[in-house]
């Protein structure tokens, strides 16, 4: 997430096709038959999905009887259609996109929540900071117009008059902020601020999740049919994800290095990937996951999501979230 309303449509870093010749994939394989399944990623290959790369590289899915293909996403590869069609067992989406798909009749359930905090931020420069939503009043914010509902929701949650904010349509780039054309940007914590840091530019980020914007991101979705008829495969897939992301957390630099080794043609820069990988950790892990396991959520976090989704024009019920697969993985 990788919100399609901004990053999925406006950020391009070069696609890579996953190949069997990637580094580390020559480990011994079990002799028994494997079940072939696909995991549809939400964006192009990068350290954003490095936990999955680790699970694949270390053979943890093979140990559970799965032959897993990681399918890259991108601006022309939405997550939901292959999951509905059955060509992907699981997709990595976000609660708002899943809610929209369900409204159109898609039989989805959210099985796990990789990003405990939504990655949307308001990025600004120290000389003209945005530290809280009230600071947006009188500011020019650069963003895609498609993200207007996101800004509206943030303002509604914090009692800020959106009419006091000047929205400037921009491409998904830090340049308008650096050129002084805007005072702040609506973006992801792990991309435009990282791009500025790599240029030696210090920036500030106000994480919208810290001010009530609760939309689960990098969520694992599957169909009702898969939950009913392919539970063993779902448990095996999520068990590999849990192990992969635990290893990622232990050494994000190694996770970034593996990302480049497995996807050498993706146009990725190692130092950028290392910084992105490190900045992703506090979004994905929390006291809640430490206590209950990777991907966890509670009734309270679902209620907060439902409130924010309502401000985004999406009506959902708690049964959109199904924790039964994670409970089996974590032995709850």
4-117+215-330, CATH topology level:
D-Maltodextrin-Binding Protein; domain 2 (3.40.190)
One fold for both 4-117+215-330 and 120-211?
yes
Residue 271 Cα distances to 14, 54, 222, 312, angstroms: 17, 19, 34, 35
Which helix (H) or strand (E) segment is 299 a member of? helix 299-311
Q: Which two tokens stand for residue 323?
A: 């924790």
> CB count, 10 Å around CB of 14?
13
In this predicted model, what pLDDT tens digit does every residue of 182-211 receive, in sequence order? 999 999 999 999 999 999 999 999 999 999
In this predicted model, what pLDDT tens digit does every residue of 11-44 receive, in sequence order? 323 223 223 333 444 444 444 569 999 999 999 9
Residue 7 near residue 188, CB atoms below 8 Å = yes
234 DSSP 8-state letter: H
pLDDT at position 75: 87
pLDDT at position 253: 98
Residue 273 Cα distances to 10, 68, 195, 249, 332, angstroms: 19, 23, 10, 14, 34
The full set of domain ranges for the chain reads 4-117+215-330, 120-211
The pairing of beta strand 204-207 with beta strand 120-124: antiparallel
| pTM of the entire predicted model | 0.89
215 DSSP 8-state letter: -
Query: What string of DSSP letters covers 52-99?
Result: HHHHHHTTHHHHTTEEEEEE--BTTB-SHHHHHHTS-SEEEEEHHHHH
The CATH number of 120-211 is 3.40.190.10
- Indicate if the pLDDT at residue 10 is higher than 80: no
Measured distance CA(193)–CA(190) in Å, rounded: 7
Q: Which two tokens stand for residue 78?
A: 């939405």
Measured distance CA(67)–CA(90) in Å, rounded: 14
Residue 121 bridge partners (DSSP): 187, 207
pLDDT at position 76: 86
């Amino acid at each position: 997430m990788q919100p399609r309303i901004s990053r999925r449509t406006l950020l391009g870093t070069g696609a890579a096709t996953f190949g069997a010749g990637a580094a580390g994939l020559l480990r011994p394989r079990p002799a028994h038959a494997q079940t072939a399944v696909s995991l549809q990623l939400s964006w192009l290959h990068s350290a954003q999905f490095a936990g999955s790369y680790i699970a694949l590289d270390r053979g943890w899915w093979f140990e559970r009887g799965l032959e897993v293909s990681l399918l890259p996403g991108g601006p022309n590869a939405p997550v939901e259609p292959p999951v509905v069609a059955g060509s992907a067992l699981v997709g990595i989406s976000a609660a708002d996109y899943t809610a929209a798909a369900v409204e159109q009749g898609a039989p989805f359930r959210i099985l796990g929540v990789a990003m405990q905090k939504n990655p949307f931020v308001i990025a600004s420069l120290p000389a003209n900071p945005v530290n809280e939503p009230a600071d947006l009043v009188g500011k020019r914010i650069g963003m895609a117009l498609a993200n207007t509902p996101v800004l509206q929701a943030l303002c509604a949650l914090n009692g800020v008059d959106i009419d006091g904010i000047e929205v400037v349509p921009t491409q998904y780039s830090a340049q308008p902020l650096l050129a002084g054309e805007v005072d702040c940007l609506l973006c992801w914590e792990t991309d435009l601020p990282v791009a500025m840091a790599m240029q030696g530019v210090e920036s500030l980020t106000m994480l919208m999740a810290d001010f009530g914007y609760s939309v689960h991101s990098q969520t694992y979705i599957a169909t009702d049919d898969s939950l009913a008829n392919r539970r063993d495969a779902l448990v095996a897939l999520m068990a590999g994800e849990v192990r992969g992301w635990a290893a990622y957390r232990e050494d994000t630099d190694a996770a970034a290095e593996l990302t480049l080794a497995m996807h050498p043609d993706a146009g990725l820069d190692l130092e950028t990937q290392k910084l992105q990988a490190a900045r992703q950790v506090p979004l994905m892990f929390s006291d809640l996951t430490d206590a209950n396991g990777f991907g966890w959520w509670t009734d309270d976090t679902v209620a907060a999501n439902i409130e924010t989704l309502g401000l985004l024009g999406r009506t959902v019920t708690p049964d959109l979230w199904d924790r039964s697969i994670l409970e089996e993985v974590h032995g709850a």
